[in-house]
């Protein structure tokens, strides 16, 4: 009986270790927690851009990876590129903004 308990404990410990390592972050892959955080940042940045009347939010794409927000898409004038970047930077939790928006 003791052997079965030790074996079960060892299997449980190994499974737990693999689960934790499987959720760990790498330079090219986010952990589960980072993914949720980045999804929230993306949502907040999109909402902030949507609430800016001078920007057409449907033409601006927002993606986030490990706190870095990447903006892409098209706007009508150069000032809109700057404004979208400012809005993204103002969102709490954003570490960096890569602004790849272009003027059509």
CA 104/CA 32 separation, integer angstroms = 37
Q: What is the radius of gyration, based on Cα positions, of the chain?
A: 21
Q: Which pLDDT does position 57 carry in this prediction?
A: 83
CA triple 66-90-101, angle to 5 deg: 75
Estimate the crossing angle of helix 78-90 against helix 32-50, to 10 degrees.
130
Residue 10 has pLDDT above 90, yes or no: no
Residue 63 pLDDT level (bands cut at 50, 70, 90): very high
Residue 37 pLDDT level (bands cut at 50, 70, 90): confident
CATH 3.30.1340 fits 28-103, yes or no: yes
First to last CA, the chain: 73
Q: Which pLDDT does position 95 carry in this prediction?
A: 96
Q: Exposed, middle or buried by CB within 10 Å (0-12, 13-18, 19+), for 32? A: exposed
Q: Indicate the pTM of the whole model.
A: 0.69
């Amino acid at each position: 009986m003791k052997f079965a308990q030790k074996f079960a404990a060892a299997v449980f410990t190994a499974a737990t270790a693999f689960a934790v390592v499987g959720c760990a972050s790498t330079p090219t892959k986010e952990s589960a927690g980072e993914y949720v955080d980045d999804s929230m940042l993306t949502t907040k940045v999109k909402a902030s851009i949507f609430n800016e009347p001078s920007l057409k939010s449907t033409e601006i794409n927002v993606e986030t990876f490990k706190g870095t927000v990447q903006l892409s898409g098209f706007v009508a004038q150069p000032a809109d590129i700057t404004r979208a970047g400012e809005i993204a930077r103002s969102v709490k939790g954003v570490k960096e903004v890569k602004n790849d928006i272009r003027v059509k």
